[in-house]
Amino acid sequence: MLKQQLNLKLSQKLSPQQIQLMKLIQLPTQAFEQRIKEELEENPALEDGKLESEDEYEEEFSNTDDDDNDNETIETEIDVDEYLSDDEIPSYRLQANNYSADDEEKSVPYASGTSFTQYLKTQLSTLRFSENEQEIADFLVGSIDESGYLRRELQDVVDDLAFTQNVYTDEETVEGVLKKVQALDPAGVGARSLQECLLLQLDRREPTKAVQLAIDMLERSFDLFSKKHYTKLLSRHDISEDELREAIEVIEHLNPKPGGSYSGNTRIIEHVIPDFTIKIVDGDLELTLNGRNAPQMHVSRDYSDMLKGYKESKEKTKDQKDAVMFIKQKLDSAKWFIEAIKQRQQTLMVTMSSIMNYQKEYFLTGDERNLRPMILKDIADEIGMDVSTVSRVANSKYVDTPYGTKLIKEFFSESMKNDQGEDVSTREIKKILEMSIEEENKKKPLTDEKLAKVLKDKGYPIARRTVAKYREQLDIPVARLRKEI
């Protein structure tokens, strides 16, 4: 039996130039500037700055094709998935560390600072230890993490001291040294748990009635306190609501991460500087592109003069032909790069302009409830480009608005139906959920079920489990943990 079968396979192929253009579009401003710098270093036929008479040059350059060269340029087609992997682009090339063309390029000085560990060791030098205790103290300080905690069992410390330092000791001795380490600044350092950290800080406070009650609660009822079972705390400690409130206020002013103010002091802070700016001018929106995304570039006049000289020479040697092929290759590459920069600039502006107009009500008011449901395809269809192109702009670019600097992809969200059958943004629903929680009675915070009813009454019929999902995405705790006395 003869069986005919027709298989159709759709394969997307892009030229190397198209692939490089997509990568240029994906780069935020500073990485784009670095890419230009690399191209200028690699291609001597490319120069920055504006040419005095570009029209004259373009005419001249367009007539420099050598009749003797019949070589055909063949564009090799390449599998798009293989070449568009994000893994090809180092993460540092994708960080939006940008600045406008008008800014002066300045290096920001950073103080060298003292590391948290070194800060503690400096304090150790003021205490008296035996030689054995000094080694234990140094080891303990070196084991304290950046939050200020000792996250290891003392028996593990004893074993490590024996194996790595040839210091043989026991838990009791180590605990004695740890008590001295815990007397260092900041208060709470060297604690093995949050409970111990808070108690160490309270021990240094003036023993007022509220402080003593706070200590008693943390020692005897830490679990009840952490879960905010206030009624049980009132009963167990036989205290009034005012007394409980005062004790809680004392605890809330303690530092749960005593090492936090010292850790990371050698890190360089990333400052996000936007790729676009949106301003409200006379009641309308005005979009501008960061000036450094539109550099002035031109092809080298010297290289075009070399071609002109070759064309006018009567005798053309093989070496001259090889040289002119190299020159033409560099000139073609320079012209393509300049064109790619223009295409990138146009793509960024068209895409962001479409997003701005789509979310016009939000940009005019700053109210997230005015954000329309918007997916990548909405913008791609409007500007006649591929979804992947819009994604490359949205995922790596920032825009400065009257309401702060925003990552563009934050304006995209799925839609849900309200009680009138209209599409509303999930961002809008989250904002209303957040506002409902802010307005709740903190003595009787709303459960997810009650929040679902509140949203339904406001015209957003969503299930309790959806409320729970949105609440978690907003990093808001459950009702019991939002309760205040």
DSSP code string of 408-473: GGGG-B-EEE-TTS-EEEHHHHHHHHHHHHHHS-TTSPPPHHHHHHHHHHTT----HHHHHHHHHH
Q: Are 132 and 167 in contact (CB under 8 A)?
A: yes
Percent of the chain with pLDDT over 90: 9
Q: Are 136 and 177 in contact (CB under 8 A)?
A: yes
Beta bridge partners of 303: none
Query: Which tokens belong to 219?
Result: 């020692």
User: Is the per-residue pLDDT at 112 higher than 60?
Assistant: no
- For the chain, the average pLDDT equals 77
* Distance separating alpha carbons of residues 343 and 354, to the nearest angstrom: 16
Q: Looking at residue 382, what is its pLDDT?
A: 92
The β-bridge relationship of strands 78-79 and 13-14 is antiparallel
Return the minimum-mean-pLDDT range out of 52-61, 190-199, 211-220. Answer: 52-61
Beta bridge partners of 322: none
Closest CA to 389 of 427, 350, 357: 350
* Distance separating alpha carbons of residues 198 and 148, to the nearest angstrom: 12
Average pLDDT of the residues in 194-206: 88
User: Is the per-residue pLDDT at 457 higher than 60?
Assistant: yes
Q: Looking at residue 173, what is its pLDDT?
A: 87
At 70, the pLDDT band (50, 70, 90 cuts) reads very low
Return the minimum-mean-pLDDT range out of 150-159, 181-190, 422-431. Answer: 422-431
Average pLDDT of the residues in 450-477: 83
Return the minimum-mean-pLDDT range out of 88-102, 180-194, 313-327. Answer: 88-102
Global confidence as pTM? 0.49
Average pLDDT of the residues in 185-198: 88
Q: Looking at residue 113, what is its pLDDT?
A: 47
For the ranges 15-24, 69-78, 159-168, the one whose mean pLDDT is highest: 159-168
**Angle of helix 318-358 versus helix 301-312 axis, rounded to 10:** 140
Query: Which tokens belong to 186?
Result: 């900041």
Phi, psi (deg, nearest 5) at residue 56: -65, -40
- 33-51 as b/e: b if 16+ CB within 10 A: bebbeebbeebebbbeeeb
Q: Looking at residue 5, what is its pLDDT?
A: 56
Q: Looking at residue 266, what is its pLDDT?
A: 41
At 452, the pLDDT band (50, 70, 90 cuts) reads confident
* Distance separating alpha carbons of residues 94 and 241, to the nearest angstrom: 53
Return the minimum-mean-pLDDT range out of 98-112, 311-325, 406-420. Answer: 98-112
Q: Tell me: the pLDDT tens digits for 363-386? A: 999 887 788 888 888 899 999 998
Q: Looking at residue 354, what is its pLDDT?
A: 95
User: Is the per-residue pLDDT at 168 higher than 80?
Assistant: yes
DSSP state of 343: H
Phi, psi (deg, nearest 5) at residue 148: 100, 10
Go through the chain and tell me how many residues it has. Answer: 485
Q: Are 388 and 22 in contact (CB under 8 A)?
A: yes
* Distance separating alpha carbons of residues 53 and 157, to the nearest angstrom: 75
At 83, the pLDDT band (50, 70, 90 cuts) reads very low
Percent of the chain with pLDDT over 70: 77
Q: Tell me: the pLDDT tens digits for 10-69? A: 445 556 677 778 888 888 888 888 888 888 888 888 887 765 554 444 444 444 444 444
First to last CA, the chain: 83
